[in-house]
Amino acid sequence: MKRYLLSLLIGFGLVLLLFVGSVVAIHLSDFNPRVIYLSQFPFRLPYIVDQIFFTASLRATFFSSWIGATLYVYVFNVLLYSVPIYVLLSIKERLKTKKSMASDPPPPPEFVD
């Protein structure tokens, strides 16, 4: 449970960092169209996945309002960026437990007659 919440928190922080970074990059480049296009790519990834997996009627339901589209983009980005983090945390935990299991077992207890 901790791993899941930590991955969601890191995913949310990563999306927020990407958003702030793209806003700063766009303003520093004086609204260069190439910078705008490159900074939009991390946020357009949900749209690309949406076009591949979902039907047009389901897409119309999500994007019927501006609020629904914005929530969809943020939630999907957080989930999309949280999955690799969760996998990396799981691998780290398994490697950590394997190292602790590799040590010798404790000596058996001695019985006094």
DSSP 30-72: TS-HHHHHHHHHHHHHHHHHHHHHS-HHHHHHHTSSHHHHHHH
Residues ≥6 apart with Cβ < 8 Å to 59 = 50, 51
How many CA atoms does the CB half-sphere of 55 hold within 13 Å?
A: 2
- Which pTM value belongs to this model? 0.69
> What is the rounded CA–CA span in Å between residue 35 and residue 40?
8
- Give the mean pLDDT per block of 10 residues along the chain (113 residues): 91 90 92 90 76 69 72 81 92 82 77 76
